[in-house]
Copies of this chain bind each other. A is one copy, B any other.
Amino acid sequence: MEPFDPTTHPHRRYNPLTNTHILVSPHRTKRPWLGQTEPAEPSNLPQYDPACYLCPGNTRAGGKVNEMYTSTVVFENDYAAVLPPPGPVTPQAAHPLLTVEPIQGGCDVVCFHPRHDLSLPTLSVSDVENIVDEWTRVYMRRGTELGIKYVQIFENKGAMMGCSNPHPHSQVWSLSTVPTLPAKELASLHNYASTAHVHSGVPTEPDGHACLLCEYVHHELSVPEDEGRIVVTNEHFVALVPWWAYWPFEIMVLPHKRHISSLVHFTVDEKHAFADIMSRVTKRYDNIFSCSFAYAMGVHQRPLPPRRDDDGMYVKDADDIAHLHVHFEPPLLRSASVRKFLAGFEVMAEPQRDLTAEQAAKTLRNCSEVHYLLAAE
């Protein structure tokens, strides 16, 4: 038998966070593309759009008027996916296989900036720090509301992701339950802590047990850059294409120096480093195909902020196992107009990709951090 070559041999990789596999077909990257292409995103947006429901001073659905904000701003989504408590009585299931659970909560919109034409990659790092501050405030406020068990911060960017408005913004959904995916990740982190050994020199979760992501990022930092999956690092954070990546240019951003379980645990330095790496990652994204790069982005961290004791110190609990990280899941594959599709095999059997994580990381490493629109000036 031949020796294994990850750039030639079809193989499966395991995702230890979600306990699923991904099928990798690296020999197939030369397949021609004859399918649907995406319309180009508009590239010359106005700084203010009178028809935009997020621009300062404009009117939203139901007649509410946006304040004349100058930095970030937060308001409740006019079409929230969940409604505030009290919820209805939980009904009895008609059959044990037809269970139902009422859910309550709130959906907020966090505008990044008054300018309609900017986005994470074209905002300044200090603007991004303002966004991180706003996310932290919403996380604290919503995460301490009665009945809330989970807060999800996420951004949908680009028409290709179903986002109907280019005005830079993110959403925060707060729920009376921990949703499927974060619950799975937390269970995997707990399971790892109770079974795996800590490698020497690797940070651990607060009780001294092994943290899956501390161990993982530590290993990635030890791989020679050329063979590895790291895109960019700074003093506190790493951005990498995970070994088990599904989306062509998927990236995970995570702290590598210590185990940080939520936004509220950031030091001033860490917050700055986080804003810095978010800016650098999104600039590289836009530069791959010289376009505004669509993605879904989400922050995974403690389901809720930690409680504080009478001295203002954080009270330790089981959720400290969370290792804060950001997932970027962009659909583009070959050019500004050719995206990845969830084909039949993937939705019926197993996620699949052609380009390897290492090939994607190399492309991203070779991208400039000077945004193409500014480089052209």
* Distance between Cα atoms of A82 and B1 in the complex (Å): 17
CB distance from A191 to the nearest CB of B (A): 13
A373 at interface, CB cutoff 8 A: no
Tell me the chain A residues, 311-353 only, with Cβ under 8 Å from chain B.
327, 329, 340-345, 347-352
Say yes or no: A173-B349 contact (C-beta < 8 A), given A159-B35, A179-B23, A342-B296.
yes
Q: Does A165 lie at the interface of the complex (its beta carbon under 8 Å from any beta carbon of B)?
A: yes
In the complex, the count of this chain's copies comes to: 2
Which residues on B sit within 8 Å (CB–CB) of A329?
347-348
Query: Would A345 and B152 count as touching, CB distance under 8 A?
Result: yes
In the complex, are the beta carbons of A36 and B159 less than 8 A apart?
yes
Nearest B residue (CB) for A89:
B1
Given A2-B88, A91-B4, A161 contacting B98 (CB threshold 8 A): no
Give every chain B residue within 8 A of A156 (Cβ-Cβ). 343-344
Check B219–A94 contact: CB distance below 8 A.
Answer: yes
Contact of A82 among B10, B103, B104 (CB under 8 A): B10
12 A–B contacts from the bound complex (CB under 8 Å): A4-B88, A11-B103, A25-B82, A36-B160, A36-B164, A94-B223, A97-B219, A98-B243, A154-B348, A163-B343, A179-B349, A180-B351
Residues on A facing B (Cβ under 8 Å): 1-6, 9-14, 16, 20-21, 23, 25, 27-28, 31-36, 39, 61, 79-83, 86-91, 94-104, 150, 152, 154-156, 159-165, 171, 173, 177, 179-182, 196, 212, 215-216, 219, 223, 243, 296-298, 300, 327, 329, 340-345, 347-352
